[in-house]
Structure 1
Amino acid sequence: MLRHLFTLIWNRKRANLLLISEIFFSFVVLFGLGTVLITAGKNFLTPRGFESAQVWRLLVRAGQGQKMPRAELDDVLRQVKALPGVQTVALTSNNLPFTFNTNNSDFVYKGRKTPFANTYDADDHYAEVLRLHLREGRWFAPADDGTHHRPVVITENMRQYLFGDEPALGKIFRYPMVVKNTKPEHEFQVVGVVDNVRMTTEFDEAIPSVWMRLLPYDTTHWETAAVLVRVAPGQGGALQEKIARTVAGVTRQWSTEVRVMEDDRLHRRRYTLVPVVGLGLMGLFLIINVALGLFGVLWYNISQRRAEIGLRRAMGATGAGIGWQFLGEMMVVTTFGVLLGGLLAAQFPLLNAFDLPTQPYLLAIAAAACAVYAITALCAWQPSRLAARIHPAVALREE
């Protein structure tokens, strides 16, 4: 039977070549769309590595042409922390979670060089605010005040890049600069390792991250200070107003902005989903057009092959057999298109394209193949039923 189907397909190779081309491009589109959706869905279901609920971000800016002495800034943070409803406060850098500010760099350790990693400045209370989960070691503490090298905490994927399966605690890495005359502040000693975090969007892969300790009571003058505030459940606008008044009470030349981190998360989610939804709609529109085209081609093929159908029915072929013949031809043609598309798609995991793991590509190939077979089967089902209903006498009389 299969040999007979190949013979029928070869006899109509020009028409079937067009079908194979349509199926091939449909597979490629579905593969690309499936890779994006599977990767985004997998990342969305992966734990973020920190807790953003009940966390606010506070942005304090000095007056025009002025800077904030660290001593006054620390005094403001103590007053904010003392407010009822505030659980803890942490000073950090401006690249806060779910914002569009980024700060990254690469690092080296004994010839190993990392990809660009997110770098954050953080004080001793940062992990408590975001509830980071320590895998090894500890977070920053007053005991780090007298260390020669700058203490850092890294994520698990950062540890893999730098040290592989070796222990990370106590090891020192640096910026990729000339080794001679390297300043101590450009060398970093690992005091802790935390779970991987995804602080850009919920749909991105976890980026290697490094937190560098902010020295308490230093002499730095700040133009803008980013502060994370963990509040008790149920707090709202009244506490935000109290925080703004507390900061203004130190000096009226400072301005304050308080935002809820969950609002930032939802805003970033919508921003990320817009292109994904647009890509999905484009893919759906293309697939609908391909399906309509396949349906039309199959319908036309049946009208052109009525004499063949009538002759087969006159020689004893059943209506069900005719229907399965047309459906089988379509499945064989689909297999050719899927194989060509699969050969192209297989190059992506082999070449490690876009730095994605192999699993999303394999799942996307399987999903695209299943979708293409389902679409072509649905398109071929009704024309096959019509072919099965053709009466041999009617078909032969028309010829």
Structure 2
Amino acid sequence: MLRHLFTLIWNRKRANLLLISEIFFSFVVLFVVGVVLITTAENYLTPHGFNYNEVWRLQVRAGQGLKMPRAELDEVLRHVKALPGVRTVALTSGNVPFVFSTNNSEFSYQGKKSPVTNVYDADDHYLEAMQLHLREGRWFGPAEDGSNHRPVVISQDLRQSLFGNGPAVGKVFTYLNPGKDPKPEHQFLVMGVVDNVRMSSDFNAAEPSVWNRLIPFDTTHWETANVLVRVAPGEGGALQEKIARTVAGVTRQWTTEVRVVNDDRLNRRRYTLVPVVGLSIVGLFLIINVALGLFGVLWYNISQRRAEIGLRRAMGATGAGIGWQFLGEMMVVTTFGVSLGSLLAAQFPLLNAFDLPAHPYLLAIGGAAGAVYLITALCAWQPSQLAAGIQPAVALREE
């Protein structure tokens, strides 16, 4: 039976080549959409690695043309931390979670190169404010005031890329191109390792990260300071207003903006979802058009093969046998298209494209193949039933 189907397909190779092409491109579209959706879903289900609930971010700005001494900034932060409802306050860099601001670099250790790594500045209270989970070592603190190297805490994925399965705490790494005589502040001493974090959005994968210690009581003058504040559950607008008044009360030339980190997360989520939803809608419309095209082509093929169908019925073929013959032909044609698409899709995990692991690609290949077979079977079912209902006398009389 299978050999007979191949013969029938070969006899109509020109028409079937067009069907194979349609199925091939349908598979490719479903594969691409599947990879995006599977990767996005897996990222969404992965823990963030920190607790963004009850965390606010403050952006404190000096007056126009002015800068804020670090000692005066620390005084402001002490007043904010003393407010009822404030649990802890942490000074950090501008790339706080879920905002459109990044700071990244590459590092090396004994010939091993890190991927592009997010770099955060953090003070001694950052761990408490963000509730990161320490896997090894500890967070930096006052004991590092006299360190000859820059104390840092790194994420688990950065640890894996630089140190593998060996110990990381106490090791010193540098920038990728540190020069012949790197400065002490460009040599990073690992104090601890935390879980992987996803600070970009709900749908982004975890990225290697490093937190540099902000040295207290330095002589830096800031134009803008970014502060993370962990508050008690249930706090809202009243406390935000108190914080703004407190900053203005300590130094009337400074202004502050208070934002809820969870609101930033929801806002970033909307921006991230737009391209994913758009790609899914385009893929859906394309598949619908392909399905309609397949249905029309099959319907036309049956009308062109009425004499063949009538002859087969006159020779004793049953209506069910005719229906299964047409359905079988389409399944074989679909197999050709899916096989070609699978060969193309298999190159992505083999080449490690887009730095994704293999399993999203493999799941997308399986899902795309199943969807194509299902669509083809649904499109072929009604035309095959139409072919099964053709009476031999009517078909041969028309010829």
TM-score (norm 2): 0.99
Distance 1:83 1:179, change over 3 A: same
Match of 2:381 in 1: 381
Q: Which runs of 5+ in 2 are unaligned?
A: none
Q: 1:97 is paired with a residue of what secondary structure?
A: coil
Match of 1:154 in 2: 154
Larger CA deviation: 313-322 vs 330-339: 313-322
Q: Could you tell me which amino acid in structure 1 is paired with residue 99 of structure 2?
A: T
Q: Deviations over 1:165-194 (max 9, x none)?
A: 111000000112345321110000001000
Match of 2:220 in 1: 220
Q: Deviations over 1:14-47 (max 9, x none)?
A: 0000000000000111111111111111111111
Determine the C-alpha separation between the residues in 2 that align with 1:397 and 1:130.
82
Determine the C-alpha separation between the residues in 1 that align with 2:12 and 2:33.
32
Q: Deviations over 1:230-254 (max 9, x none)?
A: 1111111111000000001112211
Q: CA deviation at 1:303?
A: 0.5
Match of 1:339 in 2: 339
Alignment of 1:254-265 (within 5 A): 254-265=254-265
Alignment of 1:68-147 (within 5 A): 68-147=68-147
Determine the C-alpha separation between the residues in 2 that align with 1:318 and 1:176.
74
Match of 2:184 in 1: 184
Match of 1:229 in 2: 229
Q: 2:282 is paired with a residue of what secondary structure?
A: helix
Determine the C-alpha separation between the residues in 1 that align with 2:253 and 2:386.
81
Determine the C-alpha separation between the residues in 1 that align with 2:382 and 2:365.
27
Q: Could you tell me which amino acid in structure 2 is paired with residue 361 of structure 1?
A: Y
Determine the C-alpha separation between the residues in 2 that align with 1:213 and 1:11.
74
Determine the C-alpha separation between the residues in 2 that align with 1:40 and 1:178.
36
Q: 1:199 is paired with a residue of what secondary structure?
A: coil
Match of 1:194 in 2: 194
Determine the C-alpha separation between the residues in 2 that align with 1:195 and 1:17.
52
The reply to whether residue 40 of structure 1 matches residue 6 of structure 2 is no
Determine the C-alpha separation between the residues in 1 that align with 2:319 and 2:160.
63
Q: Which runs of 5+ in 1 are unaligned?
A: none
Q: CA deviation at 1:314?
A: 1.4
Q: CA deviation at 1:203?
A: 1.2
Determine the C-alpha separation between the residues in 2 that align with 1:358 and 1:176.
28
Q: Deviations over 1:309-330 (max 9, x none)?
A: 1111111111111111100000
Determine the C-alpha separation between the residues in 1 that align with 2:4 and 2:57.
70
Q: Could you tell me which amino acid in structure 2 is paired with residue 206 of structure 1?
A: A
Alignment of 1:20-35 (within 5 A): 20-35=20-35
Q: 1:146 is paired with a residue of what secondary structure?
A: coil
Match of 2:305 in 1: 305
The reply to whether residue 352 of structure 1 matches residue 356 of structure 2 is no
Match of 1:280 in 2: 280
Q: 1:169 is paired with a residue of what secondary structure?
A: coil
Determine the C-alpha separation between the residues in 1 that align with 2:310 and 2:82.
90
Q: CA deviation at 1:338?
A: 0.3
Q: 1:188 is paired with a residue of what secondary structure?
A: strand
Q: CA deviation at 1:272?
A: 0.4
Q: CA deviation at 1:79?
A: 0.8
Q: 1:204 is paired with a residue of what secondary structure?
A: coil
Q: Which runs of 4+ in 1 moved over 6 A?
A: none
Determine the C-alpha separation between the residues in 2 that align with 1:319 and 1:127.
73
User: Sequence identity, in percent?
Assistant: 79
Determine the C-alpha separation between the residues in 1 that align with 2:352 and 2:192.
31
> Is 2:178–2:186's contact at 8 Å kept on the other side of the alignment?
no
Q: Could you tell me which amino acid in structure 1 is paired with residue 360 of structure 2?
A: P
Determine the C-alpha separation between the residues in 1 that align with 2:208 and 2:240.
33
Q: CA deviation at 1:359?
A: 0.8
Determine the C-alpha separation between the residues in 2 that align with 1:366 and 1:301.
29
Determine the C-alpha separation between the residues in 2 that align with 1:181 and 1:163.
22
Match of 1:53 in 2: 53
Q: Could you tell me which amino acid in structure 2 is paired with residue 117 of structure 1?
A: T
Match of 1:294 in 2: 294
Match of 2:167 in 1: 167
Match of 1:395 in 2: 395
> Is 2:81–2:89's contact at 8 Å kept on the other side of the alignment?
yes
Q: Could you tell me which amino acid in structure 1 is paired with residue 90 of structure 2?
A: A
Q: Could you tell me which amino acid in structure 1 is paired with residue 130 of structure 2?
A: L
> Is 2:90–2:229's contact at 8 Å kept on the other side of the alignment?
yes
Q: 2:227 is paired with a residue of what secondary structure?
A: strand
Determine the C-alpha separation between the residues in 1 that align with 2:6 and 2:93.
66
> Is 2:105–2:117's contact at 8 Å kept on the other side of the alignment?
yes
Q: Deviations over 1:198-240 (max 9, x none)?
A: 1011211211000000111111111100000011111111110
Q: Deviations over 1:106-151 (max 9, x none)?
A: 1111111112100000011101111100000111121111111111
Larger CA deviation: 197-206 vs 55-64: 197-206
Q: 2:145 is paired with a residue of what secondary structure?
A: helix
Determine the C-alpha separation between the residues in 1 that align with 2:183 and 2:276.
45
> Is 2:107–2:173's contact at 8 Å kept on the other side of the alignment?
yes
Determine the C-alpha separation between the residues in 1 that align with 2:309 and 2:72.
91
Determine the C-alpha separation between the residues in 2 that align with 1:224 and 1:213.
18
